[in-house]
Structure 1
Amino acid sequence: MADPWNRGHGAVDDMLDAENKRMAENLASKVSRLKSLAYDIDKDAEEQNAYLDGMDSNFLSATGLLTGSVKRFSTMVRSGRDNRKILCYVSVGLVVAFFLLYYLVSRMQN
């Protein structure tokens, strides 16, 4: 004789098995999305590192240029009175050129 308490276990097992499969598929899709996201983050980080390495070399070359310019400027300032006059004229000319360009750009925008 069949046990009356054991009658519905087959249906419950099937229902639990279907629920388990559904949850496993859901988990697999989430893992797949996370894997894709991790790959995208890794790729982006590598691109940014390459960009920063390029910027580092650019800054080093700019530092070299500025160092050379400062040395030449220091030599020019120490060399004598005639060079100081030229330096003043160049400085005033650059300031005037800056304000002239500022004025022209502001007029073009209006």
Structure 2
Amino acid sequence: MRRAGLGEGVPRGNYGYAGSGYRACEENERLTESLRSKVSAIKSLSIEIGHEVEHQNKLLAEMDSQFDSTTGFLGKTMGKLKILSRGSQTKLFCYMTLFSLFMFFVIYWIVKLR
């Protein structure tokens, strides 16, 4: 009878622990590649978001400067209206009356000539 030595009785081939380790390594590589592609997609997306944010900030800065210029223009106009409203109301009423009479005579003259 033969005695069993070291290494005898151990299954050989691509099954058992050796086979499952190989499959696990392949699975890890597949998952690593999938993760790598997802990370690159997220990276490109974050870069695009950064560019969009820069563009939107430029537009907001332009709008801010336009609003400032409009506010200045409107302030000047309101100041002029305040000055106009402080003026004499009777003077304005006289101008309106004279303009109305002038228009009445112009229309009367046009109708009479026909």
The TM-score normalised by the length of structure 1 is 0.70
Name the counterpart of 1:15: 23
Gaps of 5+ in 2: 1-7, 97-114
Q: Taking every aligned residue pair, what percent have the same amino acid on both sides?
A: 33
Gaps of 5+ in 1: 88-110
Alignment coverage as a number of residue pairs: 87
Name the counterpart of 2:60: 52
More helix per residue: 1 or 2?
1
State the Cα deviation string for residues 56-83 of structure 1 (Å, max 9, x = none). 0000000000000000000011112234
Considering only CA atoms, is the larger Rg found in Structure 1 or Structure 2? 2
Name the counterpart of 2:10: 3
Offset, 1:2: 4.0
Among 20, 24, 42, which residue is 2:32 paired with?
24
Amino acid aligned to 1:3: V
The TM-score normalised by the length of structure 2 is 0.67
Offset, 1:14: 1.1
Q: 1:42 to 1:84 in 2, by over 3 A?
A: farther
